[in-house]
Structure 1
């Protein structure tokens, strides 16, 4: 093994100066800006000012994490941003060093000057990588939150589109709430789940995620607090945080979000709303039972706390239908309910909806008109006919059968390869198995190691920054043979890293 050269006196002094400067600064826990973004910003300022000159070595990641009082994964995310800007670089056997000033080859006034300046936070580096890598066909996607192409209704949708060519096509804008024909079809579809919402109480969205963005921009004051399950899908995106809204996680058990202590937490945070995925939660797959749903509605009603219910997965039950949605229990206009066709029929249609009190829906429609002037008229027409003709019900029945088979295969594979390495529960719907590793591992390293082996993972730290034990495994995308190959390979990687840690 090659010996590393000792640090020179000046190098030691510079390293000490880094440690000293970090002793006087900490990221703000209450800031709506993610902690890794705060750290990256602080480091950028130090490099730009010349306090940390080119060639200066940074302390190891573990030491940085200790000095800043954060998890190592947070430091990794911050350093990833700096590396992407060309401000730091890793050198073989030499750690991480300042590479120089920020890359500014463009003339003054270039658009590139604004890349990091917008109000919407960038995705986590791992999420950005996943979004790019999902389009590489050679990778086995073990965490993807969408159905595989062969599970989508290609033939049925082709027939729908062929039928539409014999109708008058809507080439103009739709009204602010969206196509009346589609809202009537959605209203009928919601009625099948117990939700009573007329067309005037429904806004058509360009995907359900847009509903979260509209609510954060149009209904919540800056600095507002949102309660939600932790872990949660919302921690992997920045829709609320970019609007200056703070997220406060609540614990879960096998029955869903824990309501005990909700009153105290809502009072302490001055919560503006509660966001929940009661049916087949993302990423845990947990189904909130009927009694817990009633408790949650009673407590939030007593608190006057509005609820945002994400029903993206509620149609994808695999054993028995889930309990009534929270919106079906709502008698006070307390719940906004999000729905989508993306998880079952077609992510590419970009059709979702939000149902709630008419005044709130009109407010959200006004914000939507200011952002995109309405979802695609052609997509809305296709979605309306899809629902009207009963295609959705027939397709979801067939999809459930396939997903049930793939879920059972994944559980069998986990028993075969992960016994003693991890724990898991049998999901009763949705896409995900929430795998809990028997011992903590550096999840960013596991992500990179798996990628080098041709596996694309969704690690638990995307949904809870402090997580070092979980993986979100999806049985909805990889083929049965891909699952067999991927789960076996993943188990070997976990076993190997466990021996090294």
Structure 2
């Protein structure tokens, strides 16, 4: 329960009156315009921390005053407010504006996950980020305080990003056998912005792109909102299957292919070296550009992942995406695109039109960590921690899930792809688990037809949360099976 929804139970004002006042304030100040669907009674009771009957009483008073009304098929919505009654002209219909925007909303399940992640006490078994305890916040702050800041500026950086950072990234990429000059590198505010820039700058409405199925791209609408269609390609234990690419390219006139070859999101799979070369050969022959998303590539456990596609690229076919969000901290909002200079110039121009550059402070911090060897030291520690968490999670699965599910053993990254042996309503599982304080990432987020998978993450929840959450989840699954 946040401060916004918290009630003062000691000030002598009845709780139902406080709820009435809070909701009325939201209506009167325009936060909840006419037509807004207010949260269900049970959700309001949870937010305010009161019995449902208290909420029902407050809503009854609001309805009696004409501020809300129940509408068939829509629930309870804001009906009016004093300003609407007094003004000679009607207030703007913000709900119509909201529905008119070209950027598509998240699917309801993703919206529910995003909201639940902010709730206290939730065990997050699917969250795709490092636990706060694994992030080097203290070390980074100390380093910034002690650093020589003569070269640091709070002004705008040049269109492609800080030259110091691009030089550092260029040196770092050599460890992956990628030769990229600073001029061919664009600093972006995370991997998601990289995809947005590509969708805006390189693709036209009606284009088709190939993606792995399942795919992280199905959980966001960055390409769909740009009018781009996605066509899924099957995967096997070696990664993206390539045998149908040529035929489908001609059939769909595909514009490019998107892949996460190293520690794939959501399956955790690792594309073999042979399959990578095969994929690159086919895309080269078909003149099909590739977006290689390598945000998990540094998070290997026992041995490094095979060389990236970009390291094998001799034709400028691959746009390579990297990010610090999965390794150093999502709040830094720093990533990069590597590609042919004309493409980077085009995307840099669009970035300048949208945000005028990524955070100067974050760019300075990342440049320091890369240049002074701090990043490699941090990676060594994080790999060890993640491997311990993976092994612990696999032991928990062996104890409680052998009769319920199958799963893979990832060689790096964050994710275990859990397949439930008996299909049932994944939505019901999600809702029941959430009611008991467990947040899941169901497979249907990544493939709309998937009713048997869960993306488990061992990166975010603490060890005791993993144990408690997985054991309670197994009981819920048994109850639904």
Normalising by structure 1, what TM-score?
A: 0.79
Tell me whether 1:357 sits opposite 2:357 in the alignment.
no
Q: Secondary structure at the match of 1:458?
A: coil
Please give the alpha-carbon distance, in whole angstroms, between the structure 2 residues aligned to 1:430 and 1:457. 18
In the superposition, relative to structure 1, how do residues 104 and 376 fare at CA in structure 2: closer, same or farther (>3 Å)?
farther
Tell me whether 1:178 sits opposite 2:153 in the alignment.
no
Please give the alpha-carbon distance, in whole angstroms, between the structure 2 residues aligned to 1:313 and 1:162. 29
Per-residue Cα deviation, 1:382-436 (whole angstroms, up to 9, x for no partner): 1111111111100010000000000000000001000110000100010000000
Moved over 6 A (4+): 86-90
Would you say the 8 A contact 2:37–2:76 is kept in 1?
A: no
- Equivalent residue, structure 1, for 2:146: 163
1:394 aligned to which of 357, 372, 377: 377
- Equivalent residue, structure 1, for 2:231: 248
Q: Secondary structure at the match of 1:116?
A: helix
- Structure 1 position 340, deviation (Å): 0.3
Tell me whether 1:408 sits opposite 2:391 in the alignment.
yes
Please give the alpha-carbon distance, in whole angstroms, between the structure 2 residues aligned to 1:88 and 1:311. 41
- Equivalent residue, structure 2, for 1:458: 441
Q: Within 5 Å, give how 1:67-146 maps onto structure 2.
A: 85=37, 97-99=72-74, 105=80, 107-146=90-129
Q: CA RMSD in A?
A: 2.0
Q: Between Structure 1 and Structure 2, how many residues are aligned?
A: 411
Please give the alpha-carbon distance, in whole angstroms, between the structure 1 residues aligned to 2:195 and 2:313. 20
Larger CA deviation: 165-174 vs 193-202: 165-174
Q: Secondary structure at the match of 1:367?
A: helix
- Structure 1 position 193, deviation (Å): 0.7
In the superposition, relative to structure 1, how do residues 101 and 471 fare at CA in structure 2: closer, same or farther (>3 Å)?
closer
Q: Secondary structure at the match of 2:255?
A: strand
Please give the alpha-carbon distance, in whole angstroms, between the structure 2 residues aligned to 1:491 and 1:89. 29
Q: Is there any run of 5+ residues in structure 1 with no aligned partner, and where?
A: 1-82, 91-95
Please give the alpha-carbon distance, in whole angstroms, between the structure 2 residues aligned to 1:400 and 1:477. 14
Please give the alpha-carbon distance, in whole angstroms, between the structure 1 residues aligned to 2:388 and 2:40. 47
Q: Within 5 Å, give how 1:233-244 maps onto structure 2.
A: 233-244=216-227
2:469 aligned to which of 472, 478, 486: 486
Please give the alpha-carbon distance, in whole angstroms, between the structure 2 residues aligned to 1:225 and 1:427. 30
Please give the alpha-carbon distance, in whole angstroms, between the structure 1 residues aligned to 2:233 and 2:110. 23
In the superposition, relative to structure 1, how do residues 101 and 477 fare at CA in structure 2: closer, same or farther (>3 Å)?
closer
- Structure 1 position 362, deviation (Å): 0.3
Tell me whether 1:376 sits opposite 2:359 in the alignment.
yes
Normalising by structure 2, what TM-score?
A: 0.83
- Equivalent residue, structure 1, for 2:10: none
Q: Within 5 Å, give how 1:15-26 maps onto structure 2.
A: none
Would you say the 8 A contact 1:88–1:97 is kept in 2?
A: no
Per-residue Cα deviation, 1:354-382 (whole angstroms, up to 9, x for no partner): 00000000000001011001101111111
